[in-house]
Amino acid sequence: MSGKLKDRVAIVVGAGSSGPGWGNGKCTAITFAREGAKVFCVDLKRAAAEETVGLIEKEVGPGVAVAHEANASHNASVKAMVDACMARWGRVDILDNNVGIGSQGGPVELSEDEWHRVFDVNVKSFFLTAKHVLPIMERQGKGAIVNVSSIASIRSPKGISYLAYNASKGAVNSLTMAIASQYAEKGIRCNAILPGLMHTPMIDFLAEQYAKSEKDHNQAYEKMIAIRDRASPTGKMGTGWDTANAALFLASDQSSYVNGHLLVVDGGITLRA
């Protein structure tokens, strides 16, 4: 540990994983704790947040992390989340937003309800967390917000239709830049990470769902993972730790002059047509 976040308090929203393994939020929460931060681990499922806290306590020690259950797309729940963090540690130095869902379909196939559901989780939640954290950071005179977007916000490969997801992540980029511009003079930075193809529990879940419909389940799962690996110029998908390391850079003073930036973490996929 180098202590890049020593004495800072970080709220990580989406700090649990959707299944066994290492998701972006879990890896980020652990990385922040390793670097000296006190981490308020928030997840829709309390058990997922508690698992992350347990891993932190086992590695770093007790009293460094707290689990909290909240729905980031509900205003009252977000306010209670921030209030609980303030009651515990009295400040918020870092806000890291990791929640996100997808829904397949184009403008004709996608239902209006699904459109709203994706935007509530992927965009409204980032708006609400910023709404309640920014006044605290403004009083402190300093703060860093890291939003997890996606390369889907800047590209849409032929044959893949995730309209609401793509559009919502594009909105996250705009929200990030708008906050960065408005709060720069107040010592608050806001940046976004655009991960590419990452091997996370969510991808394992989707691969397993696909494999269930195939005759040879194991072969179908391995085939889907292999396809995603080959799509990267590196020959392998990234991991939640790659996202976490980018988040550490953007949350720390090492990026003190980086504001409103969309940091692509994709192994070079977006270099391809």
Could you tell me if 18 and 145 lie in one domain?
A: yes
Residues 208 and 103 in one domain: no
H/E element holding 228? helix 217-231
Active site residue 165: yes
49-85 pLDDT, tens digit per residue, is 999 999 999 999 999 999 999 999 999 999 999 999 9
Determine which helix (DSSP H) or strand (DSSP E) holds 68, and give its type and residue range: strand 65-69
- The overall average pLDDT reported for the chain is 93
pLDDT at 211: 59
In sequence order, the β-bridge partners of residue 69 are 43
Phi, psi of 118 (to 5 degrees): -65, -45
In this predicted structure, what is the pLDDT of residue 54? 98
pLDDT score, position 214? 64
Domain that holds residue 205: 199-237
pLDDT band per the 50, 70, 90 thresholds, residue 167: very high
Q: Which entry of 165, 183, 210, 257 is annotated as an active-site residue? A: 165
2 is a domain residue:
no
Considering the domain boundaries, does residue 111 fall inside one? yes
Q: Letter for the amino acid at 218?
A: N
Residue 47 inside a domain? The answer is: yes
Q: Are residues 62 and 179 in the same domain?
A: yes
Does 173 lie in the same domain as 53? Answer: yes
First to last CA, the chain: 39
Mean pLDDT of 35-42: 98
Q: Is residue 222 part of a domain?
A: yes
Cα 253 to the chain's mean position, in Å? 20
Would the pLDDT of 210 be above 60? no
The CATH number covering residue 97 comes to 3.40.50.720
Residue 166 in domain: yes
Residue 237 has pLDDT above 60, yes or no: yes
Q: Is position 85 within any domain?
A: yes
**Do 90 and 64 contact (CB within 8 A), yes or no?**
no
204 domain-assigned: yes
Q: What is the DSSP string of 82-136?
A: HHHHHHHHS---EEEE-------B-TTTS-HHHHHHHHIIIIIHHHHHHHHHHHH
Q: Give the pLDDT score at 206.
A: 64
| Number of domains comprising the chain | 2
Contact criterion met (CB below 8 Å) for 188 and 145: yes
Q: Are residues 142 and 182 in the same domain?
A: yes
Q: Does residue 154 fall inside a structural domain? A: yes
pLDDT tens per residue, range 84-130: 999 999 999 999 999 999 888 999 999 999 999 999 999 999 999 99
Closest CA to 123 of 145, 101, 143: 101
Do 12 and 25 touch, CB atoms closer than 8 A? yes
Residue (of 7, 98, 113) closest to 44 by Cα position: 98
